[in-house]
A and B are shown apart, each in its own frame.
Chain A
Amino acid sequence: MSNTIGDFILGSGGIFTISVVIILFVIGVATFMFRRTLLHMLMGVELMLNAVNLNLIYFARLHQNLEGQMLSLMIFVVAACEVAVGIAIIVNLYKRTGTIGVETYSEERG
């Protein structure tokens, strides 16, 4: 069972989809780590979540059930909530300090 699924996942179409997912995810992680403004970091997180969505939808199609698609719908909702709270905090910080650069907010150390 596990062998056939393994072959199927990494078979003809699977290897392509998983590569795209991993590339998107790594771009998200890199955006989060190397872009130096808060909004870009938030976008990096969104890109990571969307890479996962793609993965889930592919696997849901592979297994012919709907659980993966359900989870990806839930991820949309939760990501929207997170962005709502995040943007509110960023706007508040921008009003108080006049910048959203990360360097401003790294004063607390060790």
Chain B
Amino acid sequence: MNEIFFDPNFMMGEISLVALIVILTIIEAFRRPIFVLLNTPSNSTGLDRRNKQASWFAGIGLIIVAVIFYVFGKATAGEHIILLNNSLTAGGGMYIGKLALIGAAILAVLMSARYTLTQSIPAMDYYLLLLFSLLGAVTLIAAENFLIIFLALEMMSIPIYALVGLKKFSTRAGESAIKYLLLGGFSSGFLLLGISFLYGTTGSLIVKDVIQSLNFIVFDASAFLSAIGLIFVFIGLAFKVSLVPFHAWTPDVYEGAGTPITAFMSVAVKLAAFAVILKIFASIDTFGEFDSVFSLIFMFFSLLTVIYGNSVALVQQNVKRMLAYSSIAHAGYMGLALAPMHHKIHTVQAVLFYGIGYIAMNMLAFGVLVYLTRKEKYCETLNDLKGIARKYPGAAAMMAIAMFSLAGLPPAVGFVGKVQIFIQLLEGHMYITAVIALLFSLVALYFYINVIVVMYMREPETEITNIDKHSVGPVWISLSLAALFVLVLGILPSPLLKWALKWAEMLF
């Protein structure tokens, strides 16, 4: 590992993403005057046409950016360097994580092509905010410095606050947006207080220096302040991944936001924030006598999260709300792997594998809801899904795959992820924790399977109306891509495990 000030080869992906954002902004700035000049109608057909164009621009641009990320990431995979005066790491296996995040964004754009048409949302604003958020997430997983961690976290979150509130005509969306913004600001206050205490005791903002100069063997005022700082940093990040008791915003925000946005933020924000938690907490070699304390903290919060998420999801009638509680529970499983604090590199690998697999399966579940959305009616509750399999067998099959994977049943990626987590728990000799977590994943089977039962075996209460025919193609592409990832990674997980290990090596 060596330090270079700047080498464009390592940053080409990010540079191309920024270039895409600039190009799309310029296109949007000049498109409206051109439309007026050419006398295109400014009513809803005009908006539809502009939305379609915007989806094409954003989709093709993002695919080009993904290719650039892949090519340059692969070319620089042999080296591991630190750029810009200890600000960002680059090279090595990092490109796997960036590709996973961009994959999530591409799936979200494919779904949004339909969603923005059926809901009449100005699409270009929407895609620009999504791309800014993606840039923040991509920077966040590479951050080496608390300043960059804070900036990237906010760059990831603030566009999502705006995205949630973008449906101006809906009070529910505005309510979700303001809740998310206020609690997000509240949590970054705690994160910053923690960072300031860590800076105060060590005199540096670079994560590695801070970790190295933490000295918990002697308990004095400075060690006390650092411990408080670490706990506050953990609280600030736990808000973002929605661990209980910092989860209060999750169900409301997931329900009120547009479905593709919910899908994107549930996976991308979670993966990126977990990468940061791992970077800070898994690279601490010793807490001295406090080693068991931090292990207990992780175990307590994560186990509480698993228990709470899975139990409350049992009684939900709204599928989006049920998926929100299930996403809380999945954050708990990912956090559980942190508890043992042994075999660290394999623990990190298990969490990252789970995070990447979670992208595919959660995108699939929300994608089916986007597919079934009608202009006048959202498809959100279990009632809306009753008997859907007879009319839309394809969508029902996709939903079934997603539910199997989320429940952790064998031919899907969720199974492999859960097995990895439980192996880590058993190797850390945390048998009781493992048994409780296993019991609650059996409880979770009920509400996942319930969705399949409702779709295949119940009669619809009213006749199922036809869905709109707008842009069904892109949604099908995203659904089949996500289903392919879920099944292929579930049957042949070893390549992804190898990549996750490469990425895990980067975080130390």
Which residues of A does B touch, CB under 8 Å?
1-3, 5-7, 9-10, 25, 28-29, 32, 38, 41-42, 44-45, 48-49, 51-52, 55-56, 58-59, 62-63, 65, 67-68, 70-71, 74-75, 78, 81-82, 85-86, 88-90, 92-93, 96-97, 105, 107-108, 110
Contacts and interface: CB of A to CB of B under 8 A. Distances in A.
A110 B324 CA distance: 11
B6 interface: no
B319 to A, nearest CB: 15
Q: Dominant SS at the A interface?
A: helix
Contacts of A96: 171, 174
Contacts, number: 148
Contact of A86 (B147, B182, B251, B252): B182
A5 B184 CA distance: 32
A92 B165 contact: yes
B310 to A, nearest CB: 15
B218 A3 contact: yes
A48 B189 contact: yes
Interface string B166-199: 0010011011011101101110110011011101
Contact of B150 (A25, A45, A71, A90): A71
A93 B293 CA distance: 44
Interface extent on B, as a size class?
A: 35 or more
Nearest to B170: A96
A59 B174 contact: no
A95 to B, nearest CB: 9
Contacts of B220: 2-3, 6
B150 A78 contact: yes
Most B-side CB within 10 Å, residue of A2, A67, A86, A97: A2
B16 interface: no
A51 B193 contact: yes
B225 interface: yes
B223 A6 contact: yes
Nearest to B147: A71
A56 B199 contact: yes
A67 B200 contact: no
Interface string B184-227: 11101100110111011101110000000101001011110100
A82 B174 contact: no
Nearest to A58: B200
Contact of A42 (B185, B201, B203): B185
Given A52-B189, A97-B171, A81 B158 contact: yes
Interface centre among A5, A38, A63, A97 (most CB of B within 10 A): A5
Nearest to A63: B203
Contact of A81 (B154, B177, B179, B201): B154
Contact of B200 (A49, A62, A82, A93): A62
Interface string B60-89: 000000000000000000000000000000
Contact of A2 (B174, B175, B181, B215): B215
Contact of B192 (A2, A63, A75, A108): A75
A49 B154 contact: no
Contact of A10 (B171, B197, B221): B221
Interface string B119-153: 00000000000000000000000000011001100
Contacts of A38: 178, 182
A9 B225 CA distance: 10
B199 A93 contact: no
B430 to A, nearest CB: 31
Contact of B221 (A9, A25, A51, A108): A9
A48 B221 contact: no
Nearest to B179: A105
B185 A82 contact: yes
Contacts of B193: 25, 48, 51-52, 55
A55 B196 contact: yes
Contacts of A70: 147
Contact of B161 (A41, A59, A71, A85): A85
